[in-house]
Structure 1
Amino acid sequence: MTGRPKASSPAVREQMQRQRRRDTGPERLLRGEIWSRGLRYRIDFPIIDRRRRHDIVFTRAKVVVDVRGCFWHGCSDHGTIPKSNWERWSEKLEANRRRDADTVHKLEEAGWLTLVVWEHDDLVAAADEVEALVRSRPENIESQRSTVLNRKEVQLWQSMW
C-alpha cells in the first residue's frame, strides 16, 4: 500500500476529514471530571516519540490515560469494519491495534502505567480509577508535598538548604 488510498466517495472523504485527533467529546468530559478533583495533567503529550501522543499525561506520577474510540482502535464490543473498501480498512484498523499494543509495551518498559478508557466507558468511574492510580504512585511527589506544605513553606524550606 503506497500513499493514502482515495476515499470511496466525497461524503466519506468529508466525514474522515472532520474526525478529531484530540479534544473528542469523551476526552473532554473525562478531563473535566479529573480536573474537578484537583488533579493536573498535560494533554496531547508525547512520551516515547513525537508521533505517539497521549490524551492525558501525569508526568510526575508517570501515568498515561488514553481515551480510545471504538471504531479507530478496534473495540471488541463496538468496533466495526466498513463494508466499502473492507480490505484496506481491515489492514488499517489492525495496524492501529498493533501500534496501541506496542505503545503500551514501550511505556511499561520506560516505567509508565497506562490506563485505557474506551469512549463507551462510564467516565465518572474512569475518573475514579485515574484518581486512585495517580494518587497511589510514589513518584507523585508534587501532590504529596502539597498536602503537607503550602507554597510559601516549600520556598522557605528550599531557601534553608
Structure 2
Amino acid sequence: MLGGAPGVGKTTVARRLLDLVQAGQQLVQWLDVDSLWQHQPWRVNERMTTMVRANPRAVAEHAATAEVDILVINWVFQSTEMHRLVAGLLPSGTPAISVQLHASRETWHQRFESDPERPGLTDFYRSRYIQAQTTVVDHVVDTDGLTPFEVARRVTEVTGVLQPGPS
C-alpha cells in the first residue's frame, strides 16, 4: 500500500514502479483507489462508502484469481485505520506492506500547487498532509530532492518485494 498526502506524488511513483518492473518476472498490477472513488453526484454517505469498499475488494480478488504477484494500491492513507481498512479488503491471508511517501511542507506545497488539476490549497488538504505525515506505517520514504524514478527505486528497496527488471 503506497500512501501519502494529496499531491505528494503517489500516482507518479506508482507509474514509475510499473516502469521499473516491466522487464521483470513478477506480474504487478496497480490499483489507484482514487479512481474507484470517482462518482457523481458527489457525496460521502453509506451507499458511496459501500461502493468504495466493494471496488478495491473486487479488484484484489480478481488479482488473486489471476495470480498477480504484487498488487500496488495507492491512496491518501491519512491514518493507520485507513491502512487497516484497505488491508481488510484483501483476500484472507494476503500480506500487506505499507509505505508512506513524505515530503517537507515546502516541497509538498510546491507539488500540490503546481498541479493545475488540483483545487486550491485549503485547510482540508493541509490537515490531510499533517495526518499523512504522522501515520504509522511499515516504511517511510522521504521524497524531497528525489525524482519519481528515484522514489520508486527506494520503494522497491525498502519493501524488498518488487523486483526491478534488468536495466
Shorter-chain TM range is: 0.3 to 0.5
TM-score w.r.t. the length of structure 2 is: 0.36
Question: Bigger radius of gyration, 1 or 2?
Answer: 1
TM-score w.r.t. the length of structure 1 is: 0.37
